[in-house]
Structure 1
Amino acid sequence: MRAVVLDAPGPADALVVREVPVPEPAPGWVRIRVRAFGLNRSELYTRQGLSGAAVTFPRVLGIEATGTVDLDPSGRFSRGQQVAAMMGGMGRTFDGGYAEYTCVPAANVVPFRSDLPWDVLGAVPEMLQTAHGSLTVGVGLRPGDTLLVRGGTSSVGLAAALLAKHAGATVLATTRDPAKAGLLSADHVLIDDGEVAAQVREIVPEGVDGAIELVGTRTLPDTLRATRPGGTVCFTGMLAGEWTIRSFYPMDVIPQGVRLTAYSGEAHNLSADVLQRFLDDVAAGSISVPVGRRYRLDEIAQAHRDLEENLIGGKGVVVT
């Protein structure tokens, strides 16, 4: 099979497509014929050597994959069944989805049925898992709520806004680049200059009911200031690449009465029912998938350059 192999951390050109043996599933694992996989910023960090000592090389990256079951020794899944797989060490502690076949633990596998094209299906799993979990587990969004999505033009930000509006919320979303405002399916688009709390309160004077922080620790204090007492900020992403808040003093950073949570999900956080309902809604035209650029396996280095330079404009997808 063909797979994208990273021998050691490095630039995008360090990702090399090679012929390697088709992997054999261990007991309790499933082999998937990968039809498409989404691109994620965590894979960029792994390629750059920022994912910690648990990652060994050479490694096939990819924290998610979408395709069909090729072999399940346990018989739990049938050959040819459509499935998504994600997280649980994929692309880090064992080889992931940047390949024509991948083997994953059965617990990482979520089945579905859909006639949507593979480039659309490949964009969904990790993006939906993260956006849905941030809204439900993290924020506790309810119909009629106001929601701020900080980092709105990221794939998770775009998906979170779509899901929130579909659920009956009013959405405010940010972008640093006015040229990307057209990507946002939000009720209010805010140009992010590092401080948006004042802009938010011009629209919602009491502050938003909930917020999803995707930019990172640098903007978190301002996002907290944009949220009403009793509201919730869910820290989900670190797009800016800053991992910690220096000299963190909670009484200064967290306004009185504002709740701060975090979300970092796994495959079990995306149930088959939630995935199936979302795909059915997409097929019915009631919600869309924010697919950005599409690539072939041989274009993986260019895909990572585009990811690094924020040029994809939605969820990047590689079709095998």
Structure 2
Amino acid sequence: MATMRAIAIQGSKGPATAMYVTDIARPVPIPGQVLVKIRAFGLNRMDILQREGLYPLPSYAPETMGVEFSGVIEQLGDEATAMESAFKCGDEVFGLAYGGAYAEYIVVSTKTLFHKPAQLSWEEAAGIPETWMTATQALLLIGEFQCGQSVLWHAGASSVSIAGIQLAKARGASAIYATAGSPEKIRFLEQELGVTKAFNYKTDNWAAELQRLTTGVNLVVDFIGAPYFQGNLDIAAQDGRIILLSLMGGAKLPEGVNIAPFLYKRLRLEASGLRSRDLEYQKTLRDMLLDYALPKFCDGSFKVHIEKVFQFEDIVEAHQLLEKNQTKGKIICMIGSQ
């Protein structure tokens, strides 16, 4: 039986220091899937939750962490896979998976694969799938964002928000606002990404400021949850949408929350995730990125912001950096000599 190196967790869950490199069985693709030799993979906050045993994994997800990667196709599930998908052995690709990317090999459906353009490095390609598909889902598929509307991205220096800010600018946003937790991140958001205004949630009352500056924000994308619930309601515009993607600040609402804005402003609140979606839903997002975003990566209009690149064996240090919540973009791990 062929084996491969992968990242495992002592006792199945624990702190970053519980992760280690081990040998496990190499997966075998079935029809509709391909086997990819991984060159790089991206880290996401859900990986921390999964490592700690706090993430509700889909039943079909492998135990190995990691949902986005880049690499080279080494094996097809069958001959029909090549004919039906336009992928073949030797193709350089990147893609989204339900799990398993913290390893030397992964099997994935061709429905969530992209051909890697020569203009993108392995590191850049590995930082696109989960991040940009999530941003596309929030902004366009669920948020129904339209040219001329305004948007607020909480956790503005997160990889998803960085992607979403670029998407919103390209789609003709009238104004883009963001929150973040340090002066360095505020400068990054305003000077490098060009948001209309960024607020330091540690020192600014972002909700009061937005009420002063605007007549309401059309779309709010929130990763924080309970602490921002009232503020989101207060600053949302008439017929505004609030998209909840995470609960980093907690799930229990404080006493005294006033939900009246839901009624008198006709607000819509919707929560969503990507990992629990079926392949057809994920393929829809893949196709949207293929048509709209991939050409912009190639011509430099869109950029994958990478905070730091680690080697596969340094996964503990990579997770420890992610946990500090100080990054402005992706953390990427490379596998093998490049």
TM-score, length-scaled by structure 1: 0.88
Query: Shift in Å at residue 29 of structure 1?
Result: 3.1
Q: Distance in 1 between matches of 2:62 and 2:109?
A: 20
Measured at CA, do residues 53 and 86 of structure 1 come closer, stay the same or move farther in structure 2, by a change above 3 Å?
A: closer
Could you report, residue by residue, the CA deviation over 1:183-234 in whole angstroms, capped at 9, with x for unpaired residues?
A: 2121211121484221112221x11111111222321221121111111111
Aligned counterpart in structure 1 of residue 223 of structure 2, from 210, 214, 228: 214
- Which of residues 164, 179, 194 in structure 1 aligns to 2:168? 164
Deviations 1:30-78 (A, max 9, x none): 2111121111111100101102486799932112222222211223231
Q: Is the 8 A contact 2:230 2:257 kept in 1?
A: no
For 2:181, the aligned partner's letter is R
Q: What's the offset of the Cα at 1:274?
A: 1.7
CA contact (8 A) 1:197 1:225 kept: yes
Q: Which moves more between the two structures, 260-269 or 282-291?
A: 260-269
| Alpha-carbon distance in 1 for matches of 2:181, 2:230 | 17
Higher helix share: 2
1:296–1:318 CA contact under 8 A, matched in 2: yes
Deviations 1:257-295 (A, max 9, x none): 222122323432422352364232122122212222111
Task: Give the CA deviation at 1:248.
Answer: 9.7
Aligned amino acid, residue 251 of structure 1: I
Is the CA contact 1:133–1:269 (under 8 Å) kept in the aligned structure 2? no
Contact 2:156 2:162 in 1 (8 A): yes
| Cα distance in 2 for residues equivalent to 1:226 and 1:233 | 10
Q: Which moved more, 1:215-224 or 1:41-50?
A: 215-224
2:115 alignment partner in structure 1: 112
1:65 matched to 2:69? The reply is yes
**Residue 24 of structure 1 aligns to a residue in which SS?**
coil
Q: 2: CA distance between counterparts of 1:318 and 1:312?
A: 15
CA RMSD of aligned residues (A): 2.5
Is 1:189 equivalent to 2:189 in the alignment?
no
- Please tell me whether residue 281 in structure 1 is matched to residue 296 in structure 2: yes
* 1:178 corresponding residue in structure 2: 183
1:72 and 1:78 in contact (8 A); partners too: yes
5+ residue gaps in structure 1? none
Counterparts in 2 of 1:53 and 1:63: CA distance versus 1, 3 Å: closer
SS in 1 for 2:167: helix
The aligned residue for residue 78 of structure 1 is 88
Closer, same or farther: CA 248–127 of 1 in aligned 2, 3 Å: farther
* Contact 2:261 2:267 (C-alpha < 8 Å) held by counterparts: no
| Shift in alpha-carbon separation, 1:236–1:253, aligned structure 2, 3 A | farther
Q: Which amino acid aligns with 2:157?
A: T
Percent of residue pairs bearing the same amino acid type? 27
Residue matched to 2:84 = none
Deviations 1:121-146 (A, max 9, x none): 11100000000110012221111111
State the partner residue of 1:200: 210
Structure 1 residue identity aligned to 2:317: Q
Distance change >3 Å, CA 24–CA 58, structure 1 → 2 = closer
Is residue 140 from structure 1 mapped to residue 148 from structure 2 by the alignment? Answer: no
Contact 1:2 1:20 in 2 (8 A): yes
Q: Which runs of 5+ in 2 are unaligned?
A: 82-86
Q: Which amino acid aligns with 1:180?
A: K
| 2:53 match | 49
Give the structure 2 partner of residue 294 of structure 1: 309
Corresponding pairs, count: 311
1-side partners of 2:238 and 2:62: how far apart?
49
Aligned twin of 1:30: 34
1:310 aligns with 2:325: yes
- Tell me the distance in 1 between the aligned counterparts of 2:213 and 2:255: 32
- CA separation of 1:4 and 1:55: change in aligned 2, threshold 3 A: farther
Among 243, 250, 259, which residue is 1:251 paired with? 259
Amino acid corresponding to residue 209 of structure 2 in structure 1: Q
